[in-house]
């Protein structure tokens, strides 16, 4: 396969975090970008203007963050807390706690609830509109088979990926038990799970340079469509060097998706046609997180060493915001050969 074209890495944001970037997310309402880091901060940027709008200090590394709306967001910290961040006042309050570091946080617009996943092997749902006080905001606690590594939402569906390659699928309207309990179809540890924007399934990546494309519908016809593919690997001196796939981000308009790996590359894929559409030029170090803006015009890339090779001298952590060209993300129509005359 001929190497796809490459493009410049994008504009670097000023005032980046001073330690590993755990996640970044664009707002659903603007080009604001929320970034969580091991330097114990959550930072709010205006990505278009390249301005740092706010900074929130925590008592421990921050492992995830998400927006509520353009005026507030939430964070998940290694100090076991779940916090609400109010942008206008630069203030935060503790919404609640887990018994171990909180790894993931997602806000469901459909349910009006915040969902958090922790290394304490539980999932918790919170109603942030509840009166202050943790007992009044906690909606429920749901035990998981192992430590929670990644969460993703689409509509009322919630996908939970844990250690031990477990995947639980819930309907947020009935959290008493999972709708489906699955095992990852990949043999190695799960890194990231992201639901398809059309709500029919999810993509799941592993530490061993692979992505699985899965479907919720258990009918034989739907399950026949699932597949997995290799990515973020290279051959050197006759042996395969394989990298973790840290991040998956779906394009909000076209449903194509980008993956980011410890090889420093971002690839764009057309999952329906099983094709790679694009590869961006290499970033200085591992790609730790990815997010498309609400209209798909911008892609934020966290270039941040993820310690997959242990402590070693590494590049400065950086956030790049690139303008997305339609050719990089739009599926190419299938070309059928002309029938013989």
Enumerate residues 6+ apart whose C-beta is below 8 A from 177. Answer: none
Going by C-beta distance under 8 Å and a sequence separation of 6 or more, which residues neighbour residue 41? 17, 55, 56, 57, 58, 62
d(CA 43, CA 61): 13
Which 8-state DSSP code applies to residue 128? T
Q: What is the model's pLDDT at position 8?
A: 58
Q: Is 25 helix (H, G, I), strand (E, B) or coil?
A: strand
Give ∠ CA 279-191-29 in degrees, rounded to 5: 70
Torsion of CA 221, 225, 226, 231, to 10 degrees: 180
Q: Closest by alpha carbon to 76, among 127, 42, 120? A: 42
Sign of CA dihedral 158, 200, 280, 239: positive
Q: Nearest 5°: CA angle at 280, between 196 and 17?
A: 80
Closest CA to 138 of 108, 115, 105: 115
Q: What does the buried/exposed string (b/e) look like for 142-173 if buried means 16 or more CB atoms within 10 Å of the residue's CB? A: bebbebbbbbbbbeebbbbbbeebbbbbbbbe
State both tokens at 131: 């009166």
Phi, psi for residue 93 in degrees, rounded to 5: -135, 160
Per-residue pLDDT, 1: 42
In this predicted structure, what is the pLDDT of residue 338? 64
HEC string for 274-332: CEEEEECCCCCCCEEEEEECCCCCEEEEEECCCCCCCCCCCCCCEEEEEECCHHHHCCC
Task: State the pLDDT at residue 2.
Answer: 47
* HSE-CB of 187 using CA atoms within 13 angstroms: 4
Q: Which pLDDT tens digits describe the chain residue by residue (341 residues)?
A: 445 555 558 999 999 999 999 999 999 999 999 999 999 999 999 999 999 999 999 999 999 999 999 999 999 999 999 999 999 999 999 999 999 999 999 999 999 999 999 999 999 999 998 655 555 689 999 999 999 999 999 999 999 999 999 999 999 999 999 999 999 999 999 999 999 999 999 999 999 999 999 999 999 999 999 999 999 999 888 898 999 999 999 999 999 999 999 999 999 999 999 999 999 999 999 999 999 999 999 999 999 988 877 787 888 999 999 999 999 999 988 766 666 65
- Look at residue 341 in the predicted model and tell me its pLDDT: 58
Instruction: Please tell me the predicted confidence (pLDDT) of residue 308.
Output: 75
Q: Output the pLDDT for position 310.
A: 76
Instruction: Report the SS3 class of residue 136.
Output: helix
């Amino acid at each position: 396969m001929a190497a796809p074209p490459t493009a410049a890495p994008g504009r670097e944001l000023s005032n980046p975090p001073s330690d590993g970037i755990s996640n970044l997310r664009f707002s659903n309402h603007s080009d604001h970008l929320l970034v969580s880091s091991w330097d114990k901060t959550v930072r709010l940027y205006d990505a278009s203007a390249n301005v740092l709008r706010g900074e929130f200090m925590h008592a421990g590394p921050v492992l995830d963050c998400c927006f509520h709306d353009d005026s507030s967001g939430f964070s998940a910290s290694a100090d076991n807390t779940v916090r609400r961040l109010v942008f206008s006042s630069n203030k935060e309050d503790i919404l609640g706690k887990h018994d171990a570091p909180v790894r993931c946080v997602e806000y469901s617009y459909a349910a009006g609830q915040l969902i958090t996943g922790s290394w304490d092997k539980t999932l918790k749902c919170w109603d942030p509109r509840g009166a202050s006080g943790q007992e009044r905001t906690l909606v429920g606690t749901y035990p998981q088979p192992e430590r929670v590594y990644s969460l993703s939402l689409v509509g009322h569906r919630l996908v939970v990926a844990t250690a031990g390659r477990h995947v639980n699928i819930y309907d947020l309207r009935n959290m008493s038990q999972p709708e489906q309990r699955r095992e990852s179809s990949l043999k190695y540890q799960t890194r990231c799970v992201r639901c398809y924007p059309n709500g029919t399934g999810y993509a799941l990546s592993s530490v061993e340079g692979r992505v699985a494309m899965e479907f919720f519908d258990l009918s034989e016809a739907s399950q026949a469509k699932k597949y997995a593919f290799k990515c973020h690997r290279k051959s050197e001196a006759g042996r395969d060097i394989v990298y973790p796939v840290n991040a998956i981000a779906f394009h909000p308009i076209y449903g194509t998706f980008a993956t980011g790996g410890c090889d420093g590359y971002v690839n764009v894929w057309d999952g329906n046609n099983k094709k790679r559409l694009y590869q961006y030029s290499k970033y200085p170090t591992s790609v730790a997180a990815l997010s498309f803006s609400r209209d798909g015009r911008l892609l934020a890339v966290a270039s941040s060493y993820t310690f997959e090779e242990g402590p070693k001298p590494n590049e400065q952590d950086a956030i790049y915001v690139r303008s997305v060209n339609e050719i990089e993300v739009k599926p190419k129509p299938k070309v059928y050969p002309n029938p013989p005359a």
